[in-house]
Amino acid sequence: MSNKSKVISQCITTDNVEDKLQAILSVDHAAKGKRYLEEGQQLIEKSEVSNAKEAFFHAAVEFEKAQDFKQIPALWEAIGKLSELKGDYIPPVTEEWPLDYHIMETDEWHKRKEKEHKLAWVYQWAAENRESVKDPQLAYPLFFKSAEHAEQTEQSKDDPDWPAKLYLNAALNLIRTYRSIEHVPDVHRIDEEYLFSWDNIPGNDNGRLIDFLKQNYGIDWVETAEIKKIDDGKTIILSTKTIILSIKKNSLYLKLNDKYTNVSLEIDDGRTGKFIAKMENSKLNIYNEGISDKEKIKSGIEKMKTHYERFEDKGKAYNFLAISYRLLKSDLIEAGNLAEAEQFKREERSELTRYYYHKRDYFRAVTEWLSGSGFNFFVIGLVLMILFVFPYIYYQWNLVASVQGKITYLDTMLYSIELALGIGNDEFYAIGYGRILNIIGASLSWLGLGVFIWWLTRRLEMR
């Protein structure tokens, strides 16, 4: 009798239908995982590294579905090491390869006892594999999960660069998937939880649905509720009835939208909920809606900045941040999203300003500052000086005279503006220290003109 037949025969004596199904599926996934593993070993013997990585990836996925976690870490380690291979070097293949690969190449896996560290490695290697085969849609959630585990490790306390780079890679792969960060569809690949299959309600997934409703909504009456579908299978009703007159006492509705992408929950006490529907392997599976990927990635970019700012060498921190923002900017420009790229361009200049200032290269610091938001501040400051500061000084200290004898505050304001624009005025003239103030005002005007021409030239060069 085959292993699958033995498990099925054992399930016949089990009362729990869900356990029967899970046991059967577990054997199926384990068998698929073993086939992929054997296929990968054969491909390695033929030196087909790329195809072998694909086979090991699918093997790891199937073993995870089978809840067989013993082999998964070594599989991901093998994928990670194969991704780093250079030239024609192929590691020696043994009967158990790649499950013993870490013994041949490194004992770091065994030395590392910290669970979070190993989980971070596993997700990182999986993400790098998906990235290498140009699958950013699957790579970005894996990079993000790796970062979340990495930042909880002891190593991240001494090496904040590790989780920071993982968060950056998650953001870059999101951009490659959706060509944006701000306008990503309402997807939840990072933070989603499988709930039940719509096709198995009523049926094998009743228990999963009831447990979820009890734990998340505190509804105990669902344990004894009647479960049925109406509206051609597009609405699930859970309800209880009183013994007398069969009057409904409690009820809730799960309604599937016309596009089969969302499920809305309506409870008789007024509470509502929303879930995600996905067609997978010819089955409509329902997932709990967590924080959207857009918000997750945006928080990851902030965490990246926080990790880099933990560096003792602040110059290094500012430099790494500038490089990270430049990479995000470049990917957005390549995607044709110039509006969002401009935001990261400003962030890059801000970090470069801090970097050069830290290095005491003040000229470069001012240059970078003026290239970004500093130019706006410079213009605003110059206008305020001309319109208010100089006129106030002229007026309060009587530094401007008129051939007519009387001077008002408005007169000094007009005099300051005309002086800045280089317009001559025979009616007003500076006296005493007013002449020095005229020289300062004229110098600032010429400086402003020079900065404007420089700024405009830089803008045209960047287009």
Does residue 299 form part of some domain?
Answer: no
Which of 373-389 are b and which e, b meaning 16 or more Cβ less than 10 Å from the residue's Cβ? ebbeebeeebeebbeee
Helices 115-132 and 161-178 meet at what angle, rounded to 10? Answer: 30
d(CA 52, CA 75): 11
pLDDT the model gives residue 119 = 77
> Do the Cβ atoms of 160 and 308 come closer than 8 Å?
yes
Q: Which residues form the domain of 447?
A: 374-462
203 and 113, same structural domain? Answer: no
In a domain, 362, yes or no: no
Name the DSSP class of 387: I
Query: 433: number of CA atoms within 13 Å, CB side?
Result: 7
Angle at 444 between CA 439 and CA 445, to 5 degrees: 95
Query: Last residue of some domain: 139, 156, 178?
Result: 178
Contacts of 46 (CB under 8 A, 6+ apart): none
Backbone angles phi, psi at 40, to 5 degrees: -65, -40
Give dist(CA 268, CA 212) in Å, integer.
Answer: 17
CATH classification of the domain holding 436: 1.10.287.70
How many Å is the Cα radius of gyration of the chain?
33
Count of domains forming the chain: 4
Work out the burial of residue 363: count CB atoms within 10 Å of its CB; fewer than 13 is exposed, 13-18 middle, 19 or more buried.
exposed
Is residue 295 included in any domain, yes or no?
no
Are residue 43 and residue 143 in the same domain, yes or no?
yes
Are 36 and 170 in the same domain? yes
Last residue of a domain, one of 178, 206, 234: 178
> Does residue 365 fall inside a structural domain?
no
Residues 284 and 388 grouped into a single domain: no
Please check whether residues 232 and 270 belong to one and the same domain: yes
Mark whether 174 and 272 lie in a shared domain. Answer: no
Same domain, 381 and 353: no
Residue 208: C-alpha distances to residues 18, 39, 200, 271 (Å): 9, 35, 10, 20
CA distance linking residue 56 with residue 133, whole number of Å: 13
The token pair that represents 301 in the structure block:
């970019």
- Reduce the DSSP state of residue 432 to 3 states and report it: coil
> Could you tell me if 161 and 197 lie in one domain?
no
The 8-class DSSP code of residue 100 comes to T
Residue 369, domain member (yes or no): no
Backbone angles phi, psi at 237, to 5 degrees: -115, 130
| Residues 6+ away with beta carbon under 8 Å from 8 | 20, 23, 24
- Cα–Cα dist 279/261, whole Å: 8
The owner of tokens 């099925």 is 8
Token pair, residue 38, equals 């054997």
Question: How many CA atoms lie less than 13 Å away from 65 in the CB half-sphere?
Answer: 17
Cβ–Cβ under 8 Å, residues 353 and 374: yes
Residue 301 lies in a domain: no
For residue 153, tell me if it sits in a domain: yes
Sheet holding 226-230, edge to edge: 192-197, 283-289, 272-280, 262-267, 248-256, 235-241, 226-230
Q: What angle do CA 60, 64, 68 make, to 5 degrees?
A: 100
pLDDT for res 451 = 73
Helices 115-132 and 72-83 pack at an angle, to 10 degrees, of: 50
Domain boundary among 150, 178, 206: 178
Q: Verify that 173 and 196 share a domain, yes or no.
A: no
Count of Cβ atoms closer than 10 Å to residue 357 Cβ? 17
Predicted local confidence at residue 20, as pLDDT: 46
Same domain, 322 and 439: no
My answer on whether 345 and 220 are in the same domain is no
DSSP state of 199: G
Same domain, 267 and 339: no
Q: How confident is the prediction along the chain (463 residues), in pLDDT tens digits per residue?
A: 444 334 333 433 334 444 444 455 456 778 888 888 888 888 877 878 778 878 888 887 787 777 666 677 667 767 766 765 644 444 444 444 444 333 333 445 556 667 788 778 878 877 887 787 788 988 898 899 899 989 989 888 888 999 999 999 999 999 999 999 999 987 777 777 778 899 999 988 898 899 889 888 888 899 889 999 999 999 999 998 755 545 557 889 999 999 888 999 999 888 998 888 888 778 898 888 778 889 999 999 999 999 999 999 999 999 999 999 999 999 999 999 999 998 898 898 888 888 888 888 887 777 777 776 677 777 888 888 888 888 888 888 888 888 777 888 888 888 888 888 877 777 788 888 888 888 888 888 877 777 777 767 766 655 5
> Amino acid identity of 292?
S
Quick check: 277 and 262 in contact, CB under 8 A?
A: yes
Is 212 part of a structural domain of the chain? yes
